[in-house]
């Protein structure tokens, strides 16, 4: 899932949160309504990644933060949606932490259920996570880093967990030239994290390096971003499908060992193989609209070249702590 923290003023890397969750669509709609309706001019929390170097002093507030985000991705391989509540604390302008629990809603596409009628997708709680955030912005150059940790408590059969504790260490750099900001995200971990623009139809366990580079054009209330990404894994990899879970009528083995079939998630709940199993690269573009400082809407498109997937995503975030502070004043 993609985390939301508007008060810390971090970088795009903190925006991408492996992070997505569900208690029920009804609950998600209710929470969004509670947060937005009283404000009339609703606004979602600004993702931590949403402060380019040219806006280093914007939006910082020390103390506790609370955010709510509903987001989702749709492609021919899956519909994966999540609701996340994130509680954080800003120790200073440079140091912060946050934690949360995601809830997922996953739709299994007809292409999978036609060949495996018993295959079912899942709805449930994801792994709780903890993020440690470091941020050093300036008027010309912005750097931030994030350590993302998860505990393996979610249902592995639904693809919401790998059954292992996971970690990712990500660095973000951007340089502002007026409203334009070229950026680079680089990280390493033992799982592939979902990003702002691509919630994968599977989770993975295995070492990998991930890179995203591109250009953002920011005009305050709205911004545009375009770039390319690459995931370079090494060693043995395990893929846990979010869209295929063996039901009573499905005929599948618990684990398939495949080296090069990147679409193993569509025919088996668990797939093992070499590094090519989850290797990925592609390009992406999105637009972000912030009608007010505590509300954020995002729409994006990404293309995975190896998976041959066109992915359409959206996000809605509410910075509840910022909203409460504004109403208090």
pLDDT digits (tens, 9 = 90+) for 25-75: 333 443 333 333 333 332 233 333 333 333 434 556 778 899 999 998 988
* Residue 292 forms part of a structural domain: yes
Examine residue 6 and state whether it is found in any structural domain, yes or no: no
- CA 178 vs. chain centroid, Å, equals 28
Provide the pLDDT for residue 99: 95
Of 88-102, 148-162, 208-222, 241-255, least confident by mean pLDDT is 241-255
Structure confidence by residue, pLDDT tens digits, 219-251: 889 999 999 999 999 999 999 988 887 655 544
* pTM to 2 decimal places: 0.79
C-alpha 104/C-alpha 204 separation (Å) is: 16
Q: Say what percent of the chain tops pLDDT 70.
A: 74
Q: How many domains does the chain have?
A: 1
Q: Is residue 216 part of a domain?
A: yes
Among candidates 265, 248, 247, which has minimal Cα distance to 306? 265
Q: If you average pLDDT over residues 161-176, what whole number do you get?
A: 95
- Assess if residue 5 is contained within a domain: no
Q: Which one, of 2, 25, 43, lies nearest residue 291 by Cα?
A: 43
> Does residue 94 belong to any structural domain of this protein?
yes
Please report whether residue 1 resides in a domain: no
CA distances to 80, 136, 146, 193 from 187, rounded to whole Å, are 23, 17, 9, 10
**Strands annotated E in the chain:** 63-75, 78-90, 95-107, 123-125, 129-136, 141-150, 166-175, 180-189, 202-205, 208-218, 222-233, 237-241, 256-257, 270-273, 280-292, 295-304, 309-319
2 assigned to some structural domain: no
Task: Flag whether 107 is in a domain.
Answer: yes
Residue 123, Cβ neighbours under 10 Å: how many? 18
CATH number of residue 292's parent domain: 2.40.160.40
What is the per-residue pLDDT for 322? 75
Task: Supply the range of the domain harboring residue 283.
Answer: 12-328
Q: Does the pLDDT at position 289 exceed 90? A: yes
């Amino acid at each position: 899932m993609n985390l939301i923290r508007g008060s810390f003023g971090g970088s795009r890397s903190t925006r991408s949160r492996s992070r997505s969750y569900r208690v029920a669509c009804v609950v998600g709609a209710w929470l969004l309504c509670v947060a937005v309706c009283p404000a009339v001019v609703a606004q979602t929390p600004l993702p931590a990644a949403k402060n380019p170097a040219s806006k280093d002093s914007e939006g910082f507030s020390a103390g506790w933060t609370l955010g709510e985000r509903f987001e989702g991705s749709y492609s021919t391989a899956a519909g994966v949606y999540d609701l996340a509540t994130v509680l954080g604390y800003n120790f200073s302008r440079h140091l912060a932490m946050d934690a949360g629990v995601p809830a997922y809603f996953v739709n299994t596409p007809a292409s999978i259920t036609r060949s495996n009628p018993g295959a079912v997708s899942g709805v449930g709680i994801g792994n709780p996570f903890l993020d440690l955030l470091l941020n050093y912005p300036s008027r010309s150059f912005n750097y931030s880093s994030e350590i993302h940790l998860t505990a393996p408590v979610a249902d592995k059969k639904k693809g919401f967990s790998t059954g292992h504790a996971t970690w990712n260490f990500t660095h973000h750099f951007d340089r502002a030239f007026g409203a334009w900001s070229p950026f680079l995200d680089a990280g390493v971990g033992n799982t592939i994290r979902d990003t702002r623009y691509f919630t994968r139809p599977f989770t993975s366990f295995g070492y990998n390096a991930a890179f995203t580079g591109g250009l953002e054009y920011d005009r305050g209330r709205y911004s545009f971003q375009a770039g390319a990404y690459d995931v370079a894994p090494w060693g043995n990899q395990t893929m846990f499908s979010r869209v295929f879970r063996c039901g009573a009528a499905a005929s599948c083995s618990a684990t398939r060992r495949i080296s090069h079939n990147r679409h193993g998630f569509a025919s088996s709940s668990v797939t093992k193989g070499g590094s090519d199993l989850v290797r990925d690269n592609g390009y992406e573009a999105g637009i972000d609209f912030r009608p007010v400082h505590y509300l954020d809407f995002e729409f994006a498109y990404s293309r995975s070249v190896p998976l041959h997937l066109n992915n359409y995503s959206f996000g809605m975030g509410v910075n509840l702590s910022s909203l409460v502070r504004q109403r208090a004043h």
